[in-house]
Amino acid sequence: MNDLVTTIDDREAVTSSRVVATAFEKRHDNVLRDIRGLLKIEDTQGMFYKTTYINKQNGQKYTEYLMNRDGFAILVMGFTGAKALEWKMKFLNQFNAMESVIRQHGLEGKVQKSLDAISDLRKQLKDSGILREYIAPHHFFDHLAARWKEATHRERIRDFYDDIGSYAGVNVPYSNMINITVKDWLLNHVGLSTIEELVIGLETHTITYSNRGKPVSKHGVFGNKTEWTKIVNEFGGRCAYCGAEGTPLIAEHIISQSALSKDHPEKVDLIGNIIPACQQCNR
């Protein structure tokens, strides 16, 4: 008899009154009688579970009891005989082995539940757009790249890098010029929030492409720190009129007929034809 102990729903190790009766060479009805006697004691109520089985010979349904380790120990406490001790040890060893399996399965189940919960949380975060700092930056970067391709109908990843550089006002190097990937360089020097701002703008058509093929905001720099920083950097941080630096700069619109645009026609194509001007020149 190898299967002395089984489980209930993979949660508790049990044996049955019939198995006990067979192992200890006792009549099953006598074992049932002993169990019913034990059930009169209040503390034993959780140790035995009444159930039924089908007799294979006559097809009739009969009563049997399942019992956990404690129930088994109390039931066989008074059993004697030449092999009684040997059977008691066999049962207890199988109880130990089965309980170890249950604990292992329980741990694996908890781990799997945790993994499932993490997977669900990642999906919720991705769908909701919140707490993105908890999502791997590289994965989110790839997600933004896929959205950029869909929004622009372009496939070349280098074009995506150049769009990010143009939007953020930085020159994006090629991979042979740096000792890290271009993706890592962009994550370090631009950041996901700015890259996402660009992609969302292209998706919502609040960002378009200028005559020079650069991504520009239709709303100009007002309320858009990234755009304004980019323009200031293009002018070297100086006033577009007098060249003053280290002074507060103000966004000023220019028109194509202005003197500045005639001297520097390439500047007219800046976002919304906006230039940085010091307070003195902005009067």
Distance (Å, whole) CA 216 – CA 160 = 14
pTM as predicted: 0.38
Backbone φ and ψ for 50, nearest 5 degrees, come out as -75, 135
pLDDT at 256: 43
What is the greatest pairwise CA distance in the chain? 115
Q: Is the CB of residue 192 less than 8 Å from the CB of residue 140? A: yes
- Percent over 70 (pLDDT), the chain: 73
pLDDT for res 5: 74
Share of residues in the chain with pLDDT > 90 (%): 23
pLDDT at 107: 58
Residue 255 has pLDDT above 80, yes or no: no
Burial class (CB in 10 A: 0-12, 13-18, 19+), 254: buried
Q: Buried (b) or exposed (e) across 164-182, using 16+ Cβ within 10 A?
A: bbbbbbbebeeeeeeeeeb
Say which residue, 79 or 227, is predicted with more confidence: 79
Q: Does domain 220-283 have CATH number 3.40.1800?
A: yes
Specify whether the CB–CB gap between 254 and 218 falls below 8 A.
no
Would you kindly state where each structural domain of the chain is located, as residue ranges? 6-108, 136-218, 220-283
Best CA proximity match to 91, nearest among 112, 67, 113: 67
Cβ–Cβ contacts within 10 Å for residue 16, how many?
Answer: 21
Tens digit of each residue's pLDDT (9 = 90 or more) over 163-195? 999 888 889 999 889 999 999 999 999 988 889
- pLDDT-based confidence at 271, cuts 50/70/90? very low
Give the per-residue pLDDT at 257.
Answer: 41
Which residues neighbour 184 within 8 Å (Cβ) at sequence distance 6 or greater?
none
| C-alpha to C-alpha distance for 25 and 13, rounded to whole angstroms | 22
Q: Across all residues in the chain, what is the average pLDDT?
A: 78
